[in-house]
Structure 1
Amino acid sequence: MVAAGQEATIRVPATSANLGPGFDSLGLAVSLFDTVRVRTTTSGTVSVAVTGEGADELPSDGTHLVARTLLSTLERAGFGCPGLELETQNLIPHGRGLGSSAAAIVSAVLAANFLLPEDNRVDEAGVLQLCSTLEGHPDNVAPALLGALAISWETGRLFRSTRVPVHQAIVPVAAIPSTSLSTETARALLPASVSHSSAATNAGRAALLVHALSHRPEFLLDATADLLHQDYRAQAMLPSATLMRQLRAQGFPAVISGAGPTVMTLATSDAEAEAVKEVIESLSVDQTNADSLPRWRVLKLPVAVEGAKLVVHQRNGP
């Protein structure tokens, strides 16, 4: 049993996966954060208090994703919990392609690792492996853990990631619609195979994208072109696909964030970020038919240089 009386706070950034051609392998951490405060008690119960995104929808007991993941992670290590209180402040929208489930999993695994006795904790690689396994792939959990740009891959059954610093000129701009889209729905639209030429094109663009994000932002428009997933998923998010194409037609490197439906534009300056916001607002005016662009919540989200951060307030026991 883990010790009662332990308390910590975990802050985890939102993430934007894929970034166009980097399907299931690239992810960017951005400055929109969920915060989880965890306390172990002797109550024998689990309670969750949620504020912000999902406050009216998410469970307040042990079925909450953070609580469920935390407890299962402890159980995997051979430990129970005498009682648990969680307070979550959610700023990351759910079901919008900004890594909300990855943030929940990362915060839960980090919290569980903190609660364990020191000899039973896993290292950073172990945290990444567990989070990636729970999420199904590392493209969101890796940048949530590492910050900046994360490149992820799988060797055998091991997930691995490395962090790449992002050029300071880049300012991500998120256009977040009111509608959501599940990752499962988006993945179901992907074909079982693609042509050799499409795969080769995407490989080149993904390599260029890493260079553009880290050193040469002027290449971002070309570097964010994708042939593997965005067009296939467009039918599930027509307003988002339309907005992305219109922004790209005006020279802005816009992509679908993760599985969508958020549109992320990788502006190369504050001035360009403001221009992107103005274009989105102008495209949202007087649009009334079913396939038109909705009004968007548009946020400048600077790159989160640091990943998830755990602050220990109190520790009892070993």
Structure 2
Amino acid sequence: MPDAPWRVGQQVCVEVPASSANLGPGFDSVGIALDIRDRCTVTITDAPGVEVVVAGEGADGVPLDESHLVVRSMLRAWDLLDVAPPVGMRVECRNAVPHGRGLGSSATAIVTGIGAANALWRLAISGSADIEPHFVNDLAAQLEGHPDNSSASVWGGATLSWLDDRSDPNEEVSLPHTTTLALSPHPDIRPLVFLPQVQLSTATARSVLPAYVRLGDAAANSARVGVLVHALTRDPSYLRAGTRDYLHQEPRRPSYAASMALVDALRGAGIAATISGAGPSVLALAVGEQGERAAADAPAGWQVLDPGFAQTGIRLVD
């Protein structure tokens, strides 16, 4: 593994938006970027090892060494690029994305690490920092295990993503390619997030999902994904129909009963509402005066976020 021309003082700063995934039927494939951004500054130092400093969301609950998810993602990116990491670096994270609430905090950290590693490497070899989004998208989907959250954080707006099929299941591929269609959300749609005080890990939420689904449910879900994309980009009047899920929300209901009760109440009022990612937050895609009505339905103790769509994904900042 060759050494990169690292120099003490080289620095990049990246911002990455939160995401909400699935949007009902788009399980592991559809996501939207929300304008809540984590910021991370990485500096090459002459002190051996990695110094991690975290402020904001999750500051008291994340590791401050090489096991930090941002750092692990950076090291994986450099390994894939066949580049030896720098001897020392300082990683400063300022987190705004809530942890364990279904807003893609893990994907945000992964995209942050890969993007920072990519930008630092380009800075080292060319003198100009830059991020290659396709590289970030592919590796982030691999590390996350599914591309919905990570692709939204890479590209911004709304995304529809899938991992390309392999012609030979025994073929070894170092980095499976992720295809992402970047979608432009309709300007009349206002995403609102209902944030409970409790957390729920993605692993726990996925552990209760059934191994098999009924053919009829799979067919119905396929139709609703098509409606979802149409409603999200062209005709928001179909949003409630397009956010009907047949695969994952009902099996998870006992894991976030209060969240599903809110989803039921909002949908009963005619507002498109789903579980955000793995939960327990609830996403409402409001149109017009629905925004005020949806916010008024927030249960006691829940916080309502009105972030808007993040029109851009990962970006370098000064």
Q: Is TM (by shorter chain) over 0.5?
A: yes
Name the CA distance, whole Å, in 2 between partners of 1:33 and 1:214: 23
Matched, 1:45 2:49: yes
Pairwise CA distance, 1:72:
2.7
- Of 62, 71, 90 in structure 1, the residue corresponding to residue 66 of structure 2 is 62
| Aligned twin of 2:287 | 268
Name the CA distance, whole Å, in 2 between partners of 1:279 and 1:242: 11
Superposed CA deviations along residues 228-268 of structure 1, whole A, max 9, x for unmatched, are 00000111111111111111111111100001000000011
Q: SS at the partner of 2:250? A: helix
- Of 18, 34, 37 in structure 1, the residue corresponding to residue 22 of structure 2 is 18
| Aligned twin of 1:98 | 103
Name the CA distance, whole Å, in 1 between partners of 2:187 and 2:76: 39
Name the CA distance, whole Å, in 2 between partners of 1:131 and 1:55: 22
Q: SS at the partner of 2:297? A: helix
Name the CA distance, whole Å, in 2 between partners of 1:45 and 1:160: 36
Pairwise CA distance, 1:77:
2.2
| Aligned twin of 1:82 | 87
Contact 2:115 2:131 in 1 (8 A): no
Which residue type is aligned with residue 192 of structure 2?
A: V
Matches within 5 A, 1:171-190: 171-190=190-209
Pairwise CA distance, 1:190:
0.9
- Of 197, 201, 210 in structure 1, the residue corresponding to residue 220 of structure 2 is 201
Contact 1:8 1:39 in 2 (8 A): yes
Which residue type is aligned with residue 157 of structure 2?
A: A
Contact 1:150 1:162 in 2 (8 A): yes
Name the CA distance, whole Å, in 2 between partners of 1:74 and 1:158: 18
Segment of structure 1 superposing worse, 66-75 or 202-211: 66-75
Matched, 1:116 2:121: yes
Segment of structure 1 superposing worse, 174-183 or 73-82: 73-82
Matched, 1:310 2:316: yes
What TM-score do the two structures reach when normalised by structure 2? 0.90
Name the CA distance, whole Å, in 2 between partners of 1:58 and 1:106: 17
- Of 259, 274, 288 in structure 2, the residue corresponding to residue 255 of structure 1 is 274
Pairwise CA distance, 1:129:
1.0
Superposed CA deviations along residues 6-42 of structure 1, whole A, max 9, x for unmatched, are 1111100000000001011100001111111111111
> What RMSD over aligned residues (CA atoms) do the two structures have, in Å?
1.5
Name the CA distance, whole Å, in 2 between partners of 1:62 and 1:234: 36
Contact 1:273 1:300 in 2 (8 A): no
Superposed CA deviations along residues 161-217 of structure 1, whole A, max 9, x for unmatched, are 110101111111101111111111111111111111111111111101111011111
Pairwise CA distance, 1:76:
3.0
Contact 1:20 1:226 in 2 (8 A): yes
| Aligned twin of 1:297 | 303
Name the CA distance, whole Å, in 2 between partners of 1:304 and 1:131: 18
Which residue type is aligned with residue 16 of structure 1?
A: S
| Aligned twin of 1:292 | none
| Aligned twin of 1:142 | 151
- Of 122, 139, 150 in structure 2, the residue corresponding to residue 130 of structure 1 is 139
Pairwise CA distance, 1:122:
8.4
User: Unmatched 5+ residue regions in structure 1?
Assistant: 285-294, 314-318
Superposed CA deviations along residues 43-77 of structure 1, whole A, max 9, x for unmatched, are 11211111110111212222211112212322332
User: Unmatched 5+ residue regions in structure 2?
Assistant: 166-175
Name the CA distance, whole Å, in 2 between partners of 1:125 and 1:71: 18
Name the CA distance, whole Å, in 2 between partners of 1:309 and 1:174: 23
Contact 2:21 2:28 in 1 (8 A): yes
Which residue type is aligned with residue 27 of structure 2?
A: F
What TM-score do the two structures reach when normalised by structure 1? 0.90
| Aligned twin of 2:252 | 233
Contact 2:43 2:90 in 1 (8 A): yes
